[in-house]
A and B are shown apart, each in its own frame.
Chain A
Amino acid sequence: DTEVTQTPKHLVMGMTNKKSLKCEQHMGHRAMYWYKQKAKKPPELMFVYSYEKLSINESVPSRFSPECPNSSLLNLHLHALQPEDSALYLCASSQDTSGSGANVLTFGAGSRLTVL
């Protein structure tokens, strides 16, 4: 299995809703990432988990709450979002967090979030 699976593919929520995005990989990767991507822009790093521990939080607002229940799963809990949070949310994984040449980010297909 060489895939990163994200659910749901599409999510529409109101500003008072609580929802979650889910990400799963079975490649034995020990690093997992959340990215946010606006239209026609490159992905922006939000969070990095390394060996199930949060290692990087790129000053993301607390209305986004990541969770890594185990080495294969990564969640992003959403609460009290704003319309400007509407974007494509990408999950990625890699063998670990080193920047070595063999360490390629494998991305999921993304979850398209719309906040009304």
Chain B
Amino acid sequence: KNQVEQSPQSLIILEGKNCTLQCNYTVSPFSNLRWYKQDTGRGPVSLTIMTFSENTKSNGRYTATLDADTKQSSLHITASQLSDSASYICVVSPDYTNAGKSTFGDGTTLTVKP
């Protein structure tokens, strides 16, 4: 069964600090892994997308890494801001199948405090 596990479930950090969120997956075959940010009551917004051959992808203060051998990904947030408070969802898609059949992780809820 395809699974995506994220850790920690929730995280509280102080403004300006860095943090790293983890995503482990068992989806096979593998096509791509995406990180989304979801503010409360809003739809998810794509942060990064990585395919099998990519090890790292940055989007501003967000940097995602991917190790396709160990099936692990991380999302590193640098110099956190209050607006980073949100749920971060890891989504993994298998090859050549429907994008909607992607497997979603349960998300990590990040709270950034002043």
- Measuring CB to CB, which residues of chain A are less than 8 angstroms from any residue of chain B? 4, 6, 31, 33, 40-43, 45, 48, 50, 55-56, 88, 90, 92, 94, 96-110, 112
- Which residues of A sit under 8 angstroms from B100, Cβ to Cβ? 31, 33, 45, 48, 56, 92, 94, 97, 105
How many of chain B's residues touch chain A, expressed as a range?
A: 20 to 34
Report Cα–Cα, A107/B100, bound state, in Å.
Answer: 11
Q: Are A104 and B42 in contact (CB under 8 A)?
A: no
- Residue pair B96, A109 in contact (C-beta under 8 Å): no
Do B41 and A99 touch (CB < 8 A)? no
Residues of B within 8 A of A45 (CB): 100-101
Partner pick for B42 among A31, A33, A40, A109, CB 8 A cutoff: A109
Beyond A42-B105, A104-B34, A104-B46, whether A94 also contacts B99 by CB under 8 A is yes
Distance in Å from the Cβ of B12 to the closest Cβ of chain A?
16
Which 7 A-B residue pairings sit nearest by Cβ, starting from the closest?
A107-B43, A42-B104, A101-B51, A48-B100, A101-B32, A99-B31, A99-B93
CA distance A49 to B25 in the complex (A): 27
Query: Would A105 and B101 count as touching, CB distance under 8 A?
Result: no
15 interchain pairs, CB-CB under 8 A: A42-B106, A45-B100, A45-B101, A50-B98, A90-B43, A90-B44, A97-B100, A99-B31, A99-B102, A101-B32, A101-B51, A102-B49, A104-B34, A104-B46, A110-B43
| B14 interface hit (Cβ, 8 Å) | no
Docked-complex contact B98 and A110, CB < 8 angstroms:
no
Q: A99-B32, A101-B49 are in contact. Are A43 and B41 (CB under 8 A)?
A: no
